[in-house]
Chain A
Amino acid sequence: GQNIDQPTEMTATEGAIVQINCTYQTSGFNGLFWYQQHAGEAPTFLSYNVLDGLEEKGRFSSFLSRSKGYSYLLLKELQMKDSASYLCAVSDSNYQLIWGAGTKLIIKP
């Protein structure tokens, strides 16, 4: 079956760095997405990886290892507004998104 695993909840301190991991097993692979979702709102796109390596975009970076079925989202210089759920999603062989359950990130002052 298809499976996406990510931690349920993480806590970090304002100004610090946090890494959210995601492992996946899917039928086919056409890229991995990270989305941010604030409570009561729809997800917003953060990053897309289809090749191995690190993609950096401002304070956020995303890494992918296809051979290991592994990705992480790295958030630097954490701000209180970064408190949200972070969803990992893999595009499978049919280009459908398989979603992880999301990681709730709590930022403390």
Chain B
Amino acid sequence: GAVVSQHPSRVICKSGTSVKIECRSLDFQATTMFWYRQFPKQSLMLMATSNEGSKATYEQGVEKDKFLINHASLTLSTLTVTSAHPEDSSFYICSARDHGTGGDNEQFFGPGTRLTVL
């Protein structure tokens, strides 16, 4: 199956700093990428849908100025958590949809990034 990578896998930062998380589709072109957030023992919460070459579509309640998303190419999307605070500590997961396959609309997930804000 298609492979999606995320970097870094784990990051610890101080409150007030910004953190950038990269999501790459390694062997396919992803017109659409999704960013999720997951709290312990809870399901995934969709934060935003990222389309290559256009602005991301944010879900209700997600601050677009705090969670900056850039989908600059068909294989790379980045999520920047600006002025991070302890409440931003979470597991962030990206996924990508391989439009090249046609057929089903499976999303392929990255391994996730564990963010801890001190």
Which residues of A are at the interface with B, using a C-beta cutoff of 8 A? 30-31, 33, 35, 40-45, 48, 50, 87, 91, 95-97, 99-102, 104
Closest to A35 in B: B109
Q: Which 4 A-B pairs have the closest CB atoms?
A: A42-B112, A42-B109, A101-B43, A99-B43
Chain B residues whose CB sits within 8 angstroms of the CB of A87 once the complex forms: 43-44
Closest to B113 in A: A42
Q: List 17 interface pairs A-B (beta carbons < 8 Å), by A numbering.
A: A30-B105, A31-B105, A33-B107, A42-B109, A42-B110, A42-B111, A43-B109, A45-B106, A45-B108, A95-B97, A95-B105, A96-B34, A96-B46, A96-B49, A99-B45, A101-B42, A102-B43
- Residue among B1, B46, B108, B109 having the largest count of chain A Cβ atoms under 10 Å: B109
Report yes or no: A41 in contact with B111, Cβ–Cβ below 8 A: yes
Identify which of B43, B49, B104 contacts A31 (C-beta below 8 A): B104
Report the Cα distance A103→B34, complex, angstroms.
23
Report the Cα distance A40→B111, complex, angstroms.
9
In the assembled complex, the CB of B18 is this many whole angstroms from the nearest CB of chain A, namely: 23
Question: Which interface class (under 10, 10 to 19, 20 to 34, 35 or more) fits B?
Answer: 20 to 34
**Is there a chain A Cβ closer than 8 Å to B79's Cβ?**
no
Closest to A99 in B: B43
Report the Cα distance A31→B105, complex, angstroms.
8
Report yes or no: A97 in contact with B109, Cβ–Cβ below 8 A: no
Chain A residues whose CB sits within 8 angstroms of the CB of B43 once the complex forms: 87, 99-102
Report yes or no: B106 in contact with A48, Cβ–Cβ below 8 A: yes
Report yes or no: A42 in contact with B93, Cβ–Cβ below 8 A: yes
Report the Cα distance A10→B42, complex, angstroms.
16
Chain B 83-118 interface mask (CB, 8 Å, partner A; 1/0): 000000001010001000000111111111010000
Chain A residues whose CB sits within 8 angstroms of the CB of B46 once the complex forms: 96-97, 99
Report the Cα distance A30→B97, complex, angstroms.
14
Report the Cα distance A45→B1, complex, angstroms.
10
Report the Cα distance A44→B105, complex, angstroms.
15
Report the Cα distance A50→B110, complex, angstroms.
24
Report yes or no: B104 in contact with A97, Cβ–Cβ below 8 A: no
